[in-house]
Structure 1
Amino acid sequence: MPPQLPQNKPAKSTLSSFLRRPPPAPPPSSELTSDPFVPLPPSSIRHSPAPAPRVLAVEIPLSILRPIAFRVFTKKHNLTLKSDALALLCQFVGRKCGADWRDSGAGEKLLDEIARRWKRAEAAGKILVDGGDSLKSVLKSFDVPTAANSPALSRTNSNLSAMELAGDIPSSMLMAGGTGDVEMSMPEEARDEIEDNVDPNDFLKIVDAFEMPKTVYNVSKKMFERGQKPSFFPPPSAKTALFRARYNTLYSRLQRNESFLAPTYSKSAPSGAPKSHYKLTPISALLGRAGQNFMLFGMLGHSPSGHLSLYDPTGEIALDMSLAQLLPHADANWVCPGMFMVLDGVYEEDGRFTVFTLLSPPPERREQSADVFGHVDFLGNGVSLDMSHLTHGGPQGRTMRRIEEALSHVRWVAVGELHLDVPRTLEALRHLFTRYSSDPPLVFILAGSFSSIPVTPGDAPSVRVYKENFDALASLLADFPSICAQSTLLFVPGDNDPWASTFSGGSASAWPRKGVPEVFLNRVKRVVSDVRCASNPCRLGYFTSEVVVCRDDVAGRFQRSAIRFSKARSAEEMDLDGHDTPPPVVDTDTKLVRKLVKTLLDQGTLSPFPLSKRPVLWDFAAHALALYPLPTALFLIEPNIHPFAVTYESCHVMNPGRFLVRHRASWVEYAPAERKGVVFEEGF
């Protein structure tokens, strides 16, 4: 009988030396049993010459594992454990991790991996985990050798089949650089073989905003589900559903943050001690509790009387912003009506809420989102979010990531505000194409507006000139046959391009918006082999990466709509003794870039504005404009901001700026293998 788990922690050195003694080998067997707790026979597994020592199994009581399993399965993965499943997990964790399962953290990591495999095996359709055959099959998969832990596995029966990924890739190149270890360096011959046999265009998919599958967050199930096909003429309820969808997504993201995650068990803390976590209170729960301090979460907006208020699904409350300060500092991000914020303050007797501090909801890294919603395919290109995770993407995800890293020569080039009606623009384009004619990039992202003045269909000369500008571009491209044959030209419209400019006159039109009509690009298509007219915004799927391309004058809209705060100094500008400390010297342009990137990614959408400031298509905005989960990279084409390339919470944000400024041209070159971009500015 296995020893009981001791209540008091024994001496670590004595216990560790005792547990490292390998137990006797199990008797050989000729059959594979269905019981996940019976070890596989030695004849079915090829061991390395020096196998790792096995730990001694222990018996874990249900009461000890229950709070940890609840935190992992229920709070993190939104799954419900039955008592028989918990008993099964107690035996499995005790057998796999031994007596140090809790102190070393191995037990919690093992439970996290079991929950992920359960969601993948059950296709996210079963949130109740019982101790039946489904859970036993998941547990038994931990004992089956894979390419990652079986070096002797032959290439012929490897599950990293090349035919499953690209059809023509030989399996030898997939196994040459190691068996599933992404961080292991790849030999030169394997890298050359991948470059010679893999066509990156086969793994590039451009997803239009109007073709992107609609995913809706289900509050009761706490998971994303496939929604109904969106419509251009939705019912009036779609207008409120748009903001409710944003609230539910941000609120669930906020509840998974460590600062707001309540512990499964707590000890009595002394009075005056800092809180271990923050608690959000709905607005409807403030009634009759005047004079108390609360933390609220909701959307800022103006009431019909003109006062600034906070809205959540339970109600609204007027705000007093006279004492409000923005955290972590005054220039951290913009605060505008239409944004969701976390407010800390006091509920007054007259029904107002006096705000002391405001905080933008902290974002969630793409890897953390993959731990919860890794089974969801947000782009509809057959690549789930879990595949972008370096350790939890499975064999196929690791293989695709290895091929993506091996194609280090692949480059994307992004150009913004390309006014083709300006003569010097074609000269700058000739300079750009000459630079890349010897080694053409995979994609040229050409963003509008392609005309310096709005194009109106009723004005025949204006339409004719617009068509002639693209014909001139086609004549220019004909001088670079290598680019025409090997590169993909992606055209993303701006505000002056047809046909939205017909009604907006160059101002902001409803978002997302259709691409440039293909009738204007007929001559360009005769010259270039691959021409795409995508919506604004659009998304690019490349192996396990997701890249968002957006063209919008968002910085000016933030500056016009921002709420101003008092000039009182924040606590971080003073040291502990009360003496002033000089603030860090940061360039003004750098401040503006950080402010812009943080505001958008924190809000989780490309348009955090009320419909009066930024009209959107109700049924398309919730998923087509969403920045959750965070993309791998974001091309934020903002011509009124200087070019930049920064990384925030593992999301790389790039802005090529305005393509032509006097005698200088600027663009961004993006390397998908490294997931980094570089800004280029050259005179011509």
Structure 2
Amino acid sequence: MITIRIPNPIRARRAKDPHQRDLSTSPNIPNPQPPTMPPKKPDPAQQTLSFFARRPLPPSSSQIATSDPFEPLNRSSRAPSLAPTAPPPRVLAVDIPASTLRPIAFRVFTKKHNLTLKSDALSLLCGFIGRRCGADWRDSGSGEKLLDEIAKQWKRNEGAGKILVDGGDALKGVLKGIEVAGREAKGRTPGLSRSTSFDFSAGEMIPSSMLMGGDPESQDVEMMSEEVRDSLEGVDPTEYLRIVDVFEMPKLMYNASRRIFERHPRPSLFPPPAAKTALFRHRYNLIHARLLRNESFMAPTYEKKTSTSTKKSYKLTPISALLGRYNQDFMLFGMLSITPSGTLSLYDPTGEVSLDLTYCHPNDTVWLCPGMLILLNGTYEESEHFTVFAAISPPIETRAQSAEIFGHVDFLGTGVPLDFSISGGGPQGRAMRKIEKALTDPVWLIASDVHLDQSPTLSLLRGMLTKHAEKPPQVIILCGPFSSAPLASREYKACFDSLAAVFAEFPGICEESTLLLVPADSDPWTMPTTTPVLPRPPLPKALITRVMRTVKRTRAVSNPVRIAYFTSEVVVVRDDVQARLRRNAVRVGVGEKGERDEMEVDDDDAPSHSPSHDASSPSTTTTATAPLDTPQLTTRKLVKTLLDQSTLSPFPLTVRPVLTDFASHALSLYPLPSTVVMADAGVEQYRVTYEGCHVLNPGSLGEERVCVGVLE
């Protein structure tokens, strides 16, 4: 059982709960500067970087350097307030030739946002950027940032369907709105110039130092005006709490050719056979597009010629292009799979190639299982085998980065687009974040393995509710299995009647709290000879009628279930995923020439190995005598594996059956949620933060463990 207190996410970036386990190896961030000091330029080393940006992939002859992206959300201190200073010098307008701006505009509008820019629109942008950014528009990067904001505002106004950008009234309206918003914010905030402010989508001018070093909205509730707090007294937080059943979610599929998400018809429980291939093709296209947006895979269109310029971009090679190119090094991306003959292969839409893992460096930061999408670095041999030297998972994309591309998309169907969770979304998004800051912190209670047929479980549940009787929690989430052994339907219903009797002792909780019942694989019944599938439907209402009469806000939800709270997204899933990863993980080692290491598969009792996670130390080669994993490293390994794969079930259908027409969107972890509750009975309680996403495991209620945590 885990007790979760949810503060507003903006304040949680600065204040760390004393009970939270700090799993980050990054140095502590210094205290913010006094309000009277001018803003300091953030240290690039403290920024959140992807796997490749933090530690570039070495050539095949070198060892792999591991990275540690598990950092707390408050990676940067609060941006200091700006002291009144002398007005900045005026930016002198310049004339920018269309031929000079065209390659940068093509990179931003076409390659990043999938928009086509006409010649009249390019001429209009040349004049606008020349006035706003001046002669330093290219060297400082201000012109590219301004183009990015214009493209995002165009997609918000016109939608993802209109990809042709012309110089008509629509683009002029976007530029005029940016100009007006800049003048208004410049009058409110002293010491800002046009060349240092780029958050035009939010209608406010925010210094670039704030955008890189901290959130400008990360002010305490006490710093808000009394008028704002008085206007929010009548707000009911339950109106902003939406429970999204995955069987009712809109089905949004990624279109690789148009590079947008398209709404598909309502999925079916009995889809055609093509749904199986569409499921894996959707995962491949989504992560492949995510890779191409990563800075490590983007060739720079403009680079200053300096002696210290050593930036290198990586290039992905399709498998079909390997034919005839023997003894050359390549980087491949595809799905790991085992052929019917028992050999390990890599698949992509163009073909397949057999893998030789004899000389592969062990990667103990993630599990590598068949069905996962991975990056391989190695050499294509004349025997038509690909000798692998490095195997890693694709770098992750944060929620803020996804919002820059698909901020206009409402993935949950709740009417709240993705860019509401960042400094965007217009007036409505700012209003929701302001309400979220002003309201008091609600409490969520989460417990797993609630065996209602055992009296100790009911006693523990009664004690948990007694502790929060004075201030009822906002949400109570109980995950199955709800019986420790298979029961008949009448006995199973009697268990929930006992649960209703426990809740009846706390009338305040019954009136004010929202109760969610998440089924497990054995709820309500599963045949011993069948393998349960994901997602699982809710519990039948006939079994929980008495609970629904006792607790007014009772919901039998699917597994997994998604919860939208203001601008945050919480995913709750009940699955024993770590045991499945251990059973199917491919374990490799470094072999000497002439000695071939056979591929091995981990079992439940086999210990896994992990190198040091110190980012400042050189990479470590792991051998068979490496020390055992600690629970902390195992937790990091589990979290990184799932979030990098952007799915809750990165397995083939023979290992983990899923409803193929629902799995592409119901089990997806793209865009990255704010919080993932991974209820896994075989794992100890944990709570870690990985690239801004909080992942926690409440543990089993029967183990009598209580963990007080903060869901940021």
Aligning the two structures, in what range does the TM-score lie when normalised by the shorter sequence? 0.7 to 0.9
1:660 maps to 702
2:517 maps to 491
> Does 1:401 pair with 2:443?
no
Equivalent residue runs for 1:259-658 within 5 Å: 259-265=296-302, 276-326=312-362, 330-389=363-422, 391-455=423-487, 462-498=488-524, 501-504=525-528, 508-566=531-589, 588-658=630-700
Distance 1:567 1:451, change over 3 A: farther
Q: Distance in 1 between matches of 2:647 and 2:336?
A: 15
Distance 1:572 1:554, change over 3 A: closer
Q: Give the superposition deviation at 1:67.
A: 2.2
Task: Structure 1 unaligned segments of length 5 or more: list them.
Answer: 1-47, 154-179, 456-461, 676-684
Distance 1:587 1:301, change over 3 A: closer
Q: Distance in 1 between matches of 2:622 and 2:513?
A: 53
Q: Which has the larger radius of gyration?
A: 1
- Give secondary structure in 1 for the equivalent of 2:663: helix
Q: Give the superposition deviation at 1:487.
A: 0.3
1:5 maps to none
Q: Distance in 1 between matches of 2:376 and 2:370?
A: 14
Q: Distance in 2 between matches of 1:319 and 1:574?
A: 29
Q: Give the superposition deviation at 1:489.
A: 0.1
Contact 2:361–2:621 (Cα < 8 Å) also in 1: no
Q: Distance in 1 between matches of 2:304 and 2:339?
A: 43
- Give secondary structure in 1 for the equivalent of 2:668: coil
1:382-423 per-residue CA deviation (whole Å, 9 max, x = no partner) reads 00011111x222221121112112223212111111111111
Distance 1:52 1:579, change over 3 A: closer
Q: Distance in 2 between matches of 1:217 and 1:576?
A: 39
- Give secondary structure in 1 for the equivalent of 2:391: strand
Contact 2:327–2:381 (Cα < 8 Å) also in 1: yes
State the TM-score, normalizing by the size of structure 1.
0.80
2:147 maps to 111
Contact 2:353–2:384 (Cα < 8 Å) also in 1: yes
Distance 1:442 1:572, change over 3 A: closer
1:192-212 per-residue CA deviation (whole Å, 9 max, x = no partner) reads 536631111101110001000
Q: Distance in 2 between matches of 1:132 and 1:578?
A: 55
Distance 1:402 1:493, change over 3 A: same
The one-letter code matched in structure 1 to 2:688 is V
1:238 maps to 275
Q: Give the superposition deviation at 1:592.
A: 0.9
Give the number of equivalent residue pairs. 582
Contact 1:415–1:666 (Cα < 8 Å) also in 2: no
Q: Distance in 1 between matches of 2:552 and 2:619?
A: 67
Percent identity between matched residues is: 55
> Does 1:72 pair with 2:95?
no
Q: Distance in 1 between matches of 2:616 and 2:182?
A: 55
1:202-244 per-residue CA deviation (whole Å, 9 max, x = no partner) reads 0111000100000011111111111121111111110000000
- Give secondary structure in 2 for the equivalent of 1:665: coil
Contact 1:454–1:497 (Cα < 8 Å) also in 2: no
Q: Distance in 2 between matches of 1:264 and 1:85?
A: 20
The one-letter code matched in structure 1 to 2:465 is F
Q: Give the superposition deviation at 1:600.
A: 0.2
- Give secondary structure in 1 for the equivalent of 2:258: coil
State the TM-score, normalizing by the size of structure 2.
0.77
The one-letter code matched in structure 2 to 1:502 is T
Contact 1:485–1:528 (Cα < 8 Å) also in 2: yes
Q: Give the superposition deviation at 1:483.
A: 0.6
> Does 1:198 pair with 2:224?
no
> Does 1:182 pair with 2:217?
yes
2:49 maps to none
Q: Distance in 2 between matches of 1:266 and 1:235?
A: 50
Q: Give the superposition deviation at 1:454.
A: 3.2
Q: Distance in 1 between matches of 2:278 and 2:576?
A: 26
Task: Structure 2 unaligned segments of length 5 or more: list them.
Answer: 1-83, 190-214, 592-609
Distance 1:142 1:299, change over 3 A: same
- Give secondary structure in 1 for the equivalent of 2:477: strand
- Give secondary structure in 2 for the equivalent of 1:402: helix
2:604 maps to none
Q: Distance in 2 between matches of 1:401 and 1:215?
A: 26
- Give secondary structure in 1 for the equivalent of 2:296: coil
Distance 1:317 1:89, change over 3 A: same
- Give secondary structure in 2 for the equivalent of 1:196: coil
Q: Give the superposition deviation at 1:659.
A: 1.3
